[in-house]
Every structure is written in structure tokens, then in C-alpha cells.
Amino acid sequence: MKNKILIFYIFASLTYAGQGITSLFSQIQYYFLREQSNFSLTKISTIGFFIALPWCIKPFLALLADYVPIKGYRTKYYLWFDSIGLIVSYLSMMVFGLHVWTFMLFGFLINFCTSLNDICNDSTLCVYEREFNLQGKGVSVQWTALSVVGLFTSLVGAKLSETMNYQLAYGICLIFPILFLLYLKFLHQEDKYVKKQLSLKNIFKNCNSSRFLWGLLFIACLQLTPSFGLGLMAEMREYLGVSKMFVGILGSVGSVFGVLGYIFYFKYGSRFDLKKLLTCSIIFTAITNLFYLYIPTQWHIMVYSVLFGSVSGVCFMAIMSFMTKIVPEGNEATIFACVTAIANLCSNGSGILSGILYDNFGYSLNVLISSILTLFCLFLIPKLQIEKKI
């Protein structure tokens, strides 16, 4: 059992590290779209919505894992396809260069491959969380790996963005799908899977419970709350004159303290009542958002990242752990993909709402609405049906 869990942790770490490395060029892309192409935040967030679309159609991709196994395996050959697809996409970006059309086309393909990889990982996660009673440890491993890589990408991405060296950024990204191919060759373990007959009736039956539906509504409302990350980035660059390198350092500080929160959750998360933790998370998020109304200097933003980073990490882990717990047994890949797809769809929609608010009403109103609508999610928590201990 321990060997299977350890190999899954390696699988999860590589999967999420591979997702995290894609942010290496996100800073370059922001500066390219905003400062070179002079796009509005609404337009930038709309483009972002398009390239992130594969994360919103995950249920359809997840049907492959649940109902179209290849040679008796749910994930093995799809993971090979993902890794090769990523290698081709990264090489193509290096060859064709950074343009709006390449950004959208290959950005879409990169997200397609990483989302299918994520589905394969998460379907295993849901089974292992229940079978081995991991109590959120699998989620913590995933996001710790992503954040550790995020520490690297924040600093190196900032340095590369100063010269707009996208070729090197994509070249570094190539390392991760190559490592994943080595993992598949020498470590990956997977039991043979008996192919099931596709039955939408059974899927709907598994989802047709008040526990699942209320949980899904809670996640959707929480994710749809307008974010203000793009607005904060614009404020830093265009009004405070923050350097690209400082933006990278700020991101790395956030990653470090976020990882501390994830590690804390890995070790102590099972001691907390999940419903109370979700309540505290919403209140904490709403209040700390308001601090970002007062950003006279870049150092105020740095202090906020230090003060709130670790607790924000714990809050995020509570939400992610909750997402795995509302998934009923059976069709884990498809149903968890539905949960994350709706979360991603609402999150991307939140980005567009944020862009519209910022472009038309300014930064401060964007932050206020974000905090107010976050607090409204408290009214859904009494409806959530979750056990006392996680």
C-alpha cells in the first residue's frame, strides 16, 4: 500500500509541477498583451478564457478515462499522448515565435494536454483519498509541487520577461514532459481496467444527491466571485511603476508562504472541522481582500503577501479537499472533472467580470465587489453535508 501511495505522490508531483512550469511564460504573455499590444484587461481576460477552455470541457475529456480505456488502461496511454503533445507545442512556440495567433493556438493545445493529464491524476486521487483515507494529503502534495515550481517560475519568469526571452521560457518548459515520459517508462503503475458501458443515466444518478449539488453550487459561487489579480497587476505596473523583477519576487514570496500553508494542512488538516474551516476561509479571504484597497507602495503588497500567504494556503487546501469529498463513488474521473470544470468555468468568467469592472469602474470597486460577493458564499455553508473530521 505504501509503495502505491508513494508512486502516486510522484505522479501527482510531476503532474502539478508540469502545470506550474507553464506560468514561466505567463508574465511574458501579460507584458506582451498589455504593454506591447496595448490590449484592455477585458480583452486579455477574454483571450485567457479561450486558451483555458480545455479546463472547462474536462467532463467530456474525462469520459475517455472512464469509458474509453486503451489496451485495458484508463490513464497510461493518454499520459503518453499528453507528454508528446506538450513537447510538440513547446517546440512549435519556439519555432514560430510569440504572436497573438501562436499564443492562442498553442496556448489552447498546451492547456488541452495539461487538463487531460490533470484528469488522469485526479481520477486516481479521488479513488486513493477514499481507499487509503489520505485526508487531503494527496491534494496537499499536488499543490505543494505546483507552488515549489511556482517559486522558480516567479523569479526566472521575471528575469526572462525583462528581455522577453520566450524561447528560453518554452525551452525550460520542455524539461517537464520529458521527465514525465521517463516516469511513465520506469515508475508508473496502473491496474487493468474493465471497460464499462457508457450510461448517462448512471452518471446522473451518481450526481443526483443534495450533498453533491449543494457542494457544486458552493464551489461555483465561490469561483465566480470577480477576482482582482489582473487589476492589481495593472495597478502595480501602470501606477506604482513596479519593476518586472519585483513582480517576480512578489510571486515567489507568495509561493513560499503558500507552500508553508500546504505543508501545515498536510500534517494537521485532519484535526479540523472542514465546515468550520471553510467558514473561516471565506471570512478571512473577504477581509484580507480589503487590505489591497490600500497599496500606496509596492512594499505594502509585499507585506500583505507575507502576512496572509500561509493562511491563504490553508484556506485553499480546505476548498480543494472539499471538492474531492463531494465526488460520489463511481465515475470518479468524469464526476470530479465536472466539479473542476465548473470551478474553472466560473473562475475564468470571474476573470472576464474583473476585466470589465476594472476597465469601466476602476480598481477599488473591483476589490470591493470581490469581498462582498465572497461573503455571500457563507449563506451556502449550512447546506453543505460534510463529515465533522476531514
Side-chain half-sphere exposure of 273, counting CA atoms within 13 A: 8
Residue 376 in any domain: the answer is yes
Residue 388 in any domain: the answer is no
pLDDT (0 to 100) of residue 192: 78
pLDDT along the chain (390 residues), means of 10: 85 92 82 88 89 86 82 90 95 90 92 92 78 78 87 85 87 94 91 72 73 89 88 92 89 85 86 89 94 95 92 88 77 77 87 91 94 93 69
**What is the domain extent for residue 82?**
2-383
pLDDT (0 to 100) of residue 229: 87
pLDDT (0 to 100) of residue 184: 94
Instruction: Label residue 122 exposed, middle or buried (CB < 10 Å: 0-12, 13-18, 19+).
Output: buried
For residue 321, the surrounding DSSP H or E stretch is: helix 298-325
Helix or strand or coil: residue 295? coil
CB 380 within 8 A of CB 217: yes
Domain of 363: which CATH number? 1.20.1250.20
Angle between helices 229-238 and 363-376 (to 10 degrees): 160
pLDDT (0 to 100) of residue 199: 67
Residue 241 in any domain: the answer is yes
What phi and psi, each to the nearest 5 degrees, are found at residue 68? -130, 65
Residue 390 in any domain: the answer is no
pLDDT (0 to 100) of residue 270: 78
pLDDT (0 to 100) of residue 111: 93
Total of domains in the chain: 1
Task: Please give the model's pTM, rounded to 2 decimal places.
Answer: 0.74
Residue 345 in any domain: the answer is yes
Residue 56 in any domain: the answer is yes
pLDDT (0 to 100) of residue 68: 84
pLDDT (0 to 100) of residue 371: 93
Residue 184 in any domain: the answer is yes
107: left (phi over 0), alpha (psi -120 to 50) or beta: alpha
